[in-house]
Chains A and B, each alone.
Chain A
């Protein structure tokens, strides 16, 4: 299978949609002349022109709002918000318009929009530019939330997102764009709500999504050196969530560590932990553990930033504490 970067997996999928159906078009800041702040859309402007690759003003609310309106009008907009940090400026449009049109209109109007954004810290971008708030979007009924952790899923989930008739929040991770992985040439997609068992194991279940998947896998390597067999789950989508997949694994291993970049207190890990104890209470041999980002605004300094993010060693420690 060809090795492809996460970035290229995204790009080729967008390209496929834009080429195949002229209801698709893109809007966002610097997606055209600049080529996309993470270079995902490089060359698109030249190929598809200004009407389909729309460089937008720095005005996140209308970027999303116009996307929602266009979707209501029958188009299939693909909106890029650069990073999740800027999505807060479009927050009302996402959580109070996009997600509610279908329900409020009693199913008369659907909103087939894909809203892409990059998430995650780790590049010393400081407190205002390093959020990982996937969990907030996952909280909102009416939205679907994708968090691909590798190139295969990036392509497969994006294909599914582009065909979906609901608003899909598609969250890419900044640290992954250059990451390579196997991506088949043949057509495939990745359904929503089906997690990926990245590695099977028997002693403990490690759960990650988006950026934390690679931490989980690294931790699993370290653990196997110490004779611990970790089952690694990549959630792929947070909403819908593959509850059966999670619970099934926990019933097998009886121990769980959840890993996420986001702040611990009040984060999505709490939901995962709750679901597990609700549905597998009698199977748990130890409390569900969470390894999360530190509850502080992200510091700029490199060492402090590393300390604020979950590292493979922290995961190993958490596992050892419940052995």
Chain B
């Protein structure tokens, strides 16, 4: 087991733990913070996969912008503690069961998938994750979606204004 693998396991374990913590912390602010940690772990994975651009973007966009927005809203709304009563054991139970079976289902599917056998993901290798090839691809092959995504933003903007204004 080499270093990279150890890092992989460590990051994964960390991410999973943090993700679980998102679920179980009572205080929404804590959840946000845990989620940021998950994002960091995922960014770590990106770096491990030599996808530096995405790693950076992930941190900037998700951990930076989006999660701050979440925090901001939580502060705004000022719900310090989750006001939900803890009783709904049944709901939690069924939720976990459903998620568990979801996971089991997919793992069993993936395990059966023959084409994946022997396929590996090279770590710390390759150049596609770097800014240069990505940029080239984005503005050559993917220029149409790139432009179109502006519509998305426009509509989101109009929408946010519509909804946000008093």
Our verdict on whether A and B bind, yes or no, reads: no
Chain B: residues with CB nearer than 8 A to chain A? Answer: none
Chain A: residues with CB nearer than 8 A to chain B? Answer: none
